[in-house]
Amino acid sequence: MPLGAYLTLAALVFAIGLFGVLTRRNAVGILLGIELMLNAVNINLVAFARFHADLAGILFTLFTISITVAEVAVGLAIVIVIFRVRRTVEADHLDLLRG
Amino acid sequence: MGVIPFPVLSIITWAPFVGAVLIMFLARHRPLAVRLIALVTTAISVVLSVFIFVVYNREAAGFQFHEKYPLVPPLGIAYEVAVDGMSLLMVLLTSIIIFAGVFASWTVTTRSQEFYALLLALVTGVYGVFVSLDLFVFFLFYELAVLPMYLLIGIWGSSGQVRPRGIFGWAFRETGVGSKEYAAMKLTLYLLFGSAFILVGIFALYVSAGTGSFSFLELEASSFPPRLQFWVFLAFYVGFGILAGIWPLHTWSPDGHASAPTAVSMLHAGVLMKLGAYGVVRLGMGLLPDAAVELAWLVGGVACINVVYGALSAMAQTDLKYVIAYSSVSHMGLVMLGAATLTEAGLNGAVFQMFAHGVMTGLFFALVGLVYEKSHSREIFKMGGFGRSMPGIATAFTVGGLSSLGLPATAGFVAEILTFMGAWQSTHPWWLVPAIAGTFLTAVYVLRVTKQIFWGPPSPHFDHLVDARGPEWVALVLLTAVIVLFGMVPALAIGPVDTATVPLLIRLMKP
Amino acid sequence: MSALAPFALEVGLGLLLLIVFGAGLVARGEDRRGIAWLATGGVLVLAVVAMFVAPAGPALGGMFVQDGLAIFAKRLFLAATFIGLLAGLSGPDRVFARRAAEYHLLVLASLLGMLVLASARDLILLFLAFELMSIPLYVLAGFLKRDPGAVEASLKFFLVGSVSSAVMAYGLSFVYGATRTTDLAKIAAVSEGNPLLTLGLVMALVGFAFKIAAFPFHMWVPDTYEAASTPFVAWLSVAPKAAGFVALFRVYFEGGGERAAAWAPVAALLATVTMLAGNLMALPQQNTKRLLAYSGIAQIGYMLVGVAAASASGTAMVLFYLVAYVFGNMGAFLVVEALARAEGSEATAAFRGLAQRSPLLALAMLLFLLSLGGIPFVAGFWAKLYVFWAAAERGLYWLVLLGAILTVVALFYYLLIAKRMYIEEPERPGRVPVAPTLAWSVALCALGVVLLGLYPKAVVMAALRVAAPLF
Amino acid sequence: MTARVGADDLALLVLGLPFASFLLLALVRPLRRSAPAAAVVSIVAMALAFVAAFLTLQGSVRRGAAVSPSTTWSWIPADGGPMATVGVMVDELSMWMLLLVTLVSLLVQVYSWAYLADEPRSSLGRYYAYHSLFAFSMLGLVLSPTFLQMFIFWELVGLCSYLLIGFWYDRPAAARAAVKAFWITKLGDLGFVAGIVMLWSVTGTFDFWTLFTMGSMGTLPVEALPPIMFLIYLGAVGKSAQFPLHVWLPDAMEGPTPVSALIHAATMVTAGVFLVTRAFPLFRLTPDVLTLMAWVGACTALLAASMACVEADIKRVLAYSTISQLGYMMTAAGAGSPEAGFLHLLAHGVFKALLFLGAGIVIHVFHTNDVFRMGGLRRQAGVWLPFLIATLALAGVWPLPGFFTKEAILADVLEVRRWGPFVLLAVTAFLTAFYMFRVVFLAFFARPHGRRHGEPHVPLAMSAVCWLLGALTLALGLQQAFLSGHHEAGGPRWLPWLSLTLAGAGIALAWAMYHRGAIAPARVAALLGPIDWMARRRYGLDALFAGLYRGLLLALARLIGWIDRYLVDGVLNVLSAWTLRAGDRLRGLQTGQPQDYVYGVAFGALLLFVLAHWRLR
Amino acid sequence: MTAEMLAFAGVAVVLLASSLGVVLTPNLFHAILYLAVALVATGVVFLLLDAPFLFGVQLLLYAGGVVTIVVFAIMLTERLVGTSIRQTSRYLVNGALVSLAVFVGVAGFLVQAPPSAPRPAWPGDLTVAVGQALVGAFAVPLELLGVLLVIALLGALYFARSEG
């Protein structure tokens, strides 16, 4: 398979992830969308690394995967604390601050 | 003239600033000390201004009393000051007005310490603009001259009674027309808006000249491509023109001047508006000769509108301060008209008009301030018969009015006749018509107002009115005397001015 | 030891992190402010050390570089962090006392991210540092975790931030893919134009734009600023943005090589919309922090004008702008904090008659506002002037004019606060009490604003010097 | 040459004395506040000035004319020599005028001392200060060697006129009249200043002598001259109350009567005639303007006379008569003989001043201006004889000066075959006799009306001045009749008889109507219906000016004021309101919903994509 | 049609389908399950790209770690809220249009990209190389990553613990 196929696949996953971020009402659902987006990044990186036979891409992927984990952890913690304070998971309801 | 052994221009410029600092730090809660410091520091400036006015070498002409200290050498910024015949007169004007202004605002009671400090800081800015040869420093001073105005008007000003009406009534309501805050904000923003254009213009010149210097003298020596000149001149014209009150960018001036406290109105209408005209002449014409010639029709045409429109607007006002403010719009039109004629007579007339109108309008605002202070009213049609109880004020007002309408033996006449002469000699002789019509309209509204306020039977709305007192007299007498003196002996001013305008014209007319 | 020389500050900060961590483990009781003092003192020491750090060559195989730009930026970060921490020392909320260790660990970790970011010349390290800087900020924004606003702000910040960094990472993957390297020096050497490179850089720009809060990536800013604790916001509003700009310079100018100038129109566009949106949206604000948030966005727009110059002088002027902005903006936020502690209100109305109640505080606020407004004799004037200058040098007169005109719009809302302070009468009498540490931090900012206003030359020269090698 | 220097010095002295007096009174407050001191200063200065003026005339008449009668100094410097000069021009014209001005001023100032004795002392100081200023200005005008200087003093006399008309400034009528006088004359002055500016720009000088020399050498650009001279003539129209700018003069009678005598009869109003006379070498080059001048002058004369016939206010009658006589003078100039006009000016100055001062006494006695409420003054006051002499002089009865000067004018008008103006002037002569004797009969000969406050006391100063002027009038007439060869001026033989007949007819008609009562005035009025109706309404001119002022000028001003406030400023406010609204609107983007912020990021990314596609190629 | 292509097609379909499932299913638990599938599919893509090491990391860290945390979070919040979490979507069309536009934007660049060379062989053992790099040049970044993870955990902990 050519590089382009992998890149296109990644782009599709990225777009789907973005779609999820934009449309899910549930904060956790939004997080899942972000996961997908970051996943697409990894596909991209690995594909490039493979096609260039370059190690940096693999390392990059390792780092992004780890960073993603950290991000998700923090994100979920925020969701939990929001649940605790606001008693809701709906992002739409979080509009105290605006204007 | 020998070399003067001290930096005379810097002392003139910075003395008020030092005064402001002293007032802030030494004169807390001591009103008399505040005034004395203000008086002494401005007196220093006055004395030195008169001194340089006297010792300025009219034969040698050109820029004199030159001082230069590099500030940011890699960028070509230097503190460079000097005066030629034109700025010499403007420095003198500033001195006269601020000196009179200190006296005229002797009775400011609320937060007088801050008032005088801001006022003096402002004056340093004005002096600085007139003496700076470095465009960058010029701009700095310009900003310094504009900014304190916001607080000066906002704190010590007075609100007018403009009603939000008309098809744009909603907009007036939203902007809060009539209040002093509105006026202060409008004035400040408008002038800063203008300074944006000036800044861009200065940069364009700096970049285009490529000499790596902001020095006026160096920029003057380089020639700019016509297209650039055109746009930069327009930028300068709009930028400085706003300050000079060109139509239709003048509307800050009536509101601002009407709302400002006395000394600020005096200084603003008397000196700051001149600063705009000075900028157009000094930077616009001095650095961009081709564009100045090319765009003279615009400058002159708009000036004609200013003259007639300002006078008619003045006639329509019922608030005394607005009348004076609009008269400034009209007279600044004459200044710009004189400059636009690009003739010796016209240009001399313009500069002389700056001086004459400065003193005159300073006098007017001082008087309006006094009348307001004593009667607590600015409504012309409520007043009447004040001449009986305040003959001194009435006399001074009449002298100011006569100068305003260009009566001979007052400075206003010399300015106007020179402008007329220039107008008819210029490439647009028809400019003479609005110019002359303007003087007639001025006669109409000035005398109408004088009659309404000072003549006629005493108004029932007022009693216990008193004439000017003590320090206030100093302001009135000083300004009146200057108006008459320069009206009778115009050579005093025209002499040095001519040495500055003629080289400028030679540059302009060079093919 | 010499191998560690380029990392002196990072190592020092790492040690400080460990110390604070340890102190946090050891500390007992409700009031753990000692840790705060410890962290603040540590940052001060680092800031002092930073003044003596000398540039060093690349380390880690070119991944990390301690050049002039990095040092310049690090000094700025440390100074800003010091002021921010100093101001936060006297925070009234109990959580700052009890959770001083967490709070400072997060701040210091983020600071570590910034320090590394300033030196990162490799995409991997850059992204890592970027995230190290960002992730603690999400937590810090919601540090007042009982406050409904703060947690909401935290979520918004997190959401926009993580989407942006996802886009950025995606972009960086393309950059890597197009150039077969993550080393910026090598990327700069790639001469042929590759659409994937363009794509990558464009998408990476999203991340940077989020970080510096350019329109329309700014939307987290007002909400976060409004709800988070003010001393933190003061710091948040300057330090990460400065880091964002430095990274931006690294990637687009240093890593752009010959193509650097191609980014001028993009920056110009961003500058235009950011200045417009920031200034306009600031106009109707009644909450001072929100107002300052939008004004901050506008300030970013002005800095982007300098970026649009895409020249050494433009970059230098943005650096100078950042310095001025650090002092001006932090100062303004800290005055708001002082007033909010005394009045319990962050509305602009709280400023009523401040000049008569606490003249010095009002004067300081006026100085900050004037600096933000770009008025002569305070730092902000030179900042604006210099970026305009740089843009004018490149013929971007229209942008300069627009910027200058919008400065006037900006003055409208700055002057409204000035009006409240100076023109209106106070609602209640008496001096506004200001905690000493807060007063000190405000004084530091005021000093910075005034000194830079009176004598900008030293910093300008330094900025010019460090920016020159980028091009 | 030394002789000329002497004359200049004397002229400067004439000029300087009233100026010094003015400065003293204006600046030294105690002096101004004490009425007698002020009067003494002013009168002494004036007396000395009169002596100096007399000496000037004496000195120069003996020595004859010189090459250039003017001496000038630079006033407005310029690069290539002064742009404007000031100085004095001492020739026969100016010397005679000096004499007239100083004499009448002196007498009026003396007269005023008694007339205004009831005024507050400080006001009197002000009064004399104004008078000194006026004298200075008028003398400066007379001595002007340049158009510009003439304009300067021209305006200054206008100022004094304004100040003195408004001397009783708290009377609304006086205030209005003063302002009106200023405005209307200013209208004419606009032409004047435009004219001299244009003249300057085509010739490069304001100097009379230079211009005359250029004129005689043919170096003047004659084709440019007509509009210029027309504009300058406009100045004279305003100042000398020619139709249609005469409307200010009757109203100016609101001022104190001595002021009317001095300024609005003898001196200032004649400045227009003086200007035309002075600049006649230039006017001569523009025949069209002269024709216009003659016609306008004649029409003015007739129109004013007709209005005088129906006026009840004694001062206004005199004012109309002044306008009428000024018309005569202008017609003379228009007919090409300004000398005749000037002589009439001099003579008129003397006897019209007398008439006003006499009227002042009458008013002093009756406390009214209304001639129909006077009467019987003949027996009481010794004033009636001088008044009668002056009236006869004005009516043009031999051997009084009015007869000779008027006849000279008629002769000159005839000589250039201007029949129209001639007829108008002749009718005017008839009307003049009529309306003047109408006043005389009503005021002096009619039965007394109303109550009298005992025996009226006429102060000596007032009556003495009147007697003096009466004697002077008589002397002038007799001098003309018997001492100088009068008839060399020419004119047909029937002319003196015609004018005497007209005068006689006018007197007779007045006698018949107002003394004898043979003809009822009402019937005459009915007979002349429309004319009477028009004349009583001053031909609608006052209303026209008032209408223009209110309906046009003030309305336009209001319109512009409205436009400025609500449109020009409105647009600005709309812009700022829009900016504020835009901010508010834009703020709506910040919905508060977290995902909308992500939309922001997405849109931003798309924006960058588009830009990248577009610019980063 | 090589085997690789077939495998790619299969994986791609699974990946895309499960991704869509993540963003479309109304049940949050299902969404997580779909995510797990998607992550595993991604791992398979890594395998196809000859990076078995990453496949392992993916499985462990992502599919294992992340999914577990999320499940925990959901259970935690669900307990708090007390109802099973159903989720709905907002502005589907808008979201679809925008994400499609982003995809088109990316694809627009992708189609312009020069065709890639066929994939070269790996020079050595990938896992070893990764290991060496992580203790060599990338040691410092690895340290930083450690800091990042610790700090993130600290932050998460700060939020998650409830204080009395």
Highest-scoring range by mean pLDDT, B495-504, C37-46, D332-341: C37-46
Q: Is the pLDDT of residue D63 over 50?
A: no
Which residues of B fall within a CB distance of 8 Å from C400? 199-200, 203
How many CB atoms lie under 10 A from the CB of residue D457? 10
DSSP string, B184-244: HHHHHHHHHHHHHHHHHHHHHHHHHH-SS--BHHHHHHS---HHHHHHHHHHHHHHHHHHH
pLDDT of residue B132 exceeding 70: yes
Q: Do A16 and E99 touch (CB under 8 A)?
A: yes
Per residue in D155-185, pLDDT tens? Answer: 999 999 998 888 888 888 888 888 888 988 8
* Phi and psi torsions of C429, nearest 5°: -80, 175
- Round the average pLDDT of chain C to a whole number and report it: 88
Q: Do chains A and B touch (3 or more CB pairs under 8 A)?
A: no
For D227, residues 6+ apart whose C-beta sits below 8 A from its C-beta are: D198
Average of per-residue pLDDT across B164-173: 77
pLDDT of residue D60: 64
Residue D558, exposed/middle/buried by CB under 10 A (0-12, 13-18, 19+)?
middle
- For residue C82, pLDDT over 90 is answered with yes
Kindly state the tokens that stand for C396. 């971007």
Residue C368: is its pLDDT beyond 90?
yes
Residue A54 to chain C, least CA–CA distance (Å): 7
Residue D378: per-residue pLDDT: 64
3-state secondary structure of D325: helix
Tell me the pLDDT tens digit for each residue of E32-63.
888 888 988 998 888 888 888 888 888 887 77
The pLDDT mean for chain B works out to: 86
Contacts of C99 in chain E (CB under 8 A): 158
Chain C CB contacts of B200 under 8 Å are 388, 392, 397, 400-401, 404
Confidence at residue C274, expressed as pLDDT on a 0 to 100 scale: 92
Most confident of D380-389, D397-406, D556-565: D556-565
pLDDT score, position B498? 87
Q: What percent of chain B has pLDDT over 90?
A: 15
In a 13 Å sphere around the CA of D7, the CA atoms on its Cβ side amount to 28
Is A14 part of the contact surface with chain C (CB cutoff 8 Å)? yes
Model confidence, pTM: 0.87
At A15 the pLDDT is: 92
Lowest mean pLDDT: which of B173-187, B285-299, C172-186?
Answer: B173-187
Interval D7-29: pLDDT, tens: 778 888 888 889 999 988 888 88
pLDDT band at E163 (very low <50, low <70, confident <90, very high): low
**In this predicted structure, what is the pLDDT of residue D5?**
43
Longest Cα separation, chain E: 64
- Rounded to the nearest 5°, which phi and psi values hold at D139? -65, -40
Q: Helix H segments across B132-179?
A: 135-146, 148-156, 169-175
Binning pLDDT at 50, 70 and 90, where does residue D455 land?
low
Task: Give the integer Cα–Cα distance in Å for C235 and E119.
Answer: 48
Give the confidence band of C1 by pLDDT, cuts at 50, 70, 90.
very low
User: Pick the residue with more confidence: D98 or A98?
Assistant: D98
Determine contact, residues D31/D38, Cβ cutoff 8 Å: yes
Digit-coded pLDDT (tens) for C402-435: 888 888 888 888 988 888 888 888 888 888 888 8
**Per-residue pLDDT tens for B14-41?**
999 998 888 888 877 788 888 888 889 9
Q: Is the bond leading into B5 cis (omega within 30 degrees of zero)?
A: no
List the subunits that have 3+ CB pairs under 8 angstroms with E: A, C, D
Structure confidence at residue B260 as a pLDDT band (50, 70, 90): confident
Percent of chain C with pLDDT over 90: 34
Q: How far is CA C418 from CA B108, C272, C345, C350, in A?
A: 22, 26, 17, 12
Which among C159, C170, C180 is the nearest to A52, CB-wise? C180
What confidence tens digit (pLDDT) does each residue in E55-91 have? 888 888 777 777 777 777 777 766 655 555 566 777 8
Whether the predicted pLDDT of E94 surpasses 60:
yes
- Which chains have 3+ CB pairs within 8 A of C? A, B, D, E
Look at A95-99, B154-158, D227-231, E157-161 and tell me which has the smallest mean pLDDT: A95-99
* Residue pair C255/C208 in contact by the 8 Å Cβ criterion: no
Interface of D with B in 197-226 (CB under 8 A): 197-198, 200-201
- Contact D190/B436, CB-based, under 8 Å? yes
Contact call for C412 and B189, based on CB within 8 A: yes
Q: Which whole number is the average pLDDT over C12-38? A: 86
Given a cut of 90, is residue C137 above it in pLDDT?
yes
Quote the pLDDT of residue C111: 93
The helix/strand/coil state of B69 is: strand
Output the CA torsion sign for D404, D409, D411, D412. Answer: positive
pLDDT higher for C132 or C189?
C132
Cβ distance of B309 and D564 shorter than 8 Å: yes
Mean predicted confidence (pLDDT) in C234-259: 88
Across residues B43-67, what is the average pLDDT?
Answer: 87
Supply the mean pLDDT for chain A: 87
Of C119-133, C388-402, D291-305, where does mean pLDDT reach its minimum?
C388-402
> For residues D590 and C281, is the Cβ–Cβ distance under 8 A?
yes
Q: What is the pLDDT of residue B3?
A: 63
Cβ atoms within 10 A of the Cβ of C59, count?
A: 18
| C154 interaction partners in chain A (CB closer than 8 Å) | 78, 81
In order of their start, the domains of chain A are: 3-93 (1.10.287.3510)
Instruction: State whether D566 and B167 contact (CB < 8 Å).
Output: yes
> Which percentage of chain D shows pLDDT scores above 90?
5
Q: What band does D381 get if pLDDT is binned at 50, 70 and 90?
A: low
The count of other CB atoms within 10 Å of the CB of residue C436 is: 10
Least confident of B211-220, D60-69, D348-357, D505-514: D60-69
**pLDDT of residue C192 exceeding 80:** no
Total residue count of chain C as it appears in this document = 471
B317 token code pair: 């006002």
Interface of E with A in 68-107 (CB under 8 A): 69-70, 72-74, 76-77, 80-81, 85, 87-92, 94-96, 98-100, 102-103, 106-107
- Half-sphere exposure of residue D550: CA atoms within 13 angstroms, side-chain side: 5
D579 touching B, CB under 8 A? no
Of all residues in chain A, the one with the smallest CA distance to E141 is A63
- pLDDT at residue E51, as a whole number: 83
